[in-house]
Amino acid sequence: MLKTCLAVLLLAVSAADPAHSEDQALAKLFAEQGLEGCVVISSVRTGRTFVHNDARANRRLPAASTFKILNTLIALQERAIAGKDDTLHWDGQIRDVPDWNRDQTLASAFKVSCVWCYQDLARRVGADAYRRYLRQTEYGELRESFGLTEFWLDGSLRISAAEQVEFLRKLVRRSLPFDGFAYDTLREIMLAEQTPDYALWAKTGWAARVDPQVGWYVGYVESRGEVWLFALNIDLRGKDDLALRPKLARAALAAKGIID
């Protein structure tokens, strides 16, 4: 009798644990595109979670430019930059992305994912401050030793999709070690889409120094009185797949009835 009760209890726990349930609707979206990847979607209010590819969702991959979410908070908190309209002066060096070849503000640097801008901010912040904030926020894993202006680009900083979602949960709840000004500024510059029905805050990432390359899209959505967190990553077959990051994330949110 005791064995039977224990077996029933274990089955109930397993059924209630979304991390062990493959979501078929989400899996279909990836299969239709022929993509290897994962997505995690989770409600802030209820904790209800949908997952495609649980094993990958718990695998740490290079954070790439998704780190700009936390990096922006750090830069603001450390007063490495005054605010969203403060100027970052271009050094005149021509880079591959045309949008980078001009003076930037923090807002524009976030929008165009300007690498040199955040490298400039990193020099102002310093390695010790990064170590402290990464430890306090429990953001992935930073491998020592690391290059101050390269660690989020070269694979020294890695994070899983599941960890991205838990970081975003703390961000939305404002339980991270940052002041209101930092949170408010990030929220303003991170807004990616707003409709009468929902608002979406997000950041792309492109880990180009690994094989296969990895594309990220992470963020959160306010819709129908709820806040939903999401983190998606895919193996990139080429530059054409970059556009699939937000496209696939939006399709996943729509498949779960979060956005239209």
Q: According to the model, what pLDDT value does residue 21 have? A: 72
What pLDDT, on the 0 to 100 scale, is given for residue 12? Answer: 39
Find the CATH number of the domain harbouring 109: 3.40.710.10
| 235 found inside a domain | yes
Among candidates 152, 256, 115, 145, which has minimal Cα distance to 198? 256
Looking at residue 17, its pLDDT comes to: 47
- Domains: count for the chain: 1
What is the domain range of residue 168? 21-255
Domain membership flag for residue 104 = yes
Residue type, 130: Y
Average pLDDT, the chain: 93
| Domain-embedded: residue 11 | no
In a domain, 3, yes or no: no
Instruction: With a cut of 70, list the residues of the chain below it in pLDDT.
Output: 1-20
Answer yes or no: are the C-beta atoms of 40 and 231 closer than 8 Å: yes
Query: Do the domain assignments include residue 9?
Result: no
> Is residue 187, in this structure, part of any structural domain at all?
yes
| Cα distance from N-terminal residue to C-terminal residue, the chain | 49
Q: Which residue has the tokens 């397993």?
A: 14
Give the type of residue at 85: D
Q: Is residue 10 part of a domain?
A: no
Residues with active-site annotation: 65
Residue 43 lies in a domain: yes
Q: What is the pLDDT of residue 82?
A: 97
Per DSSP, 143 falls in state P
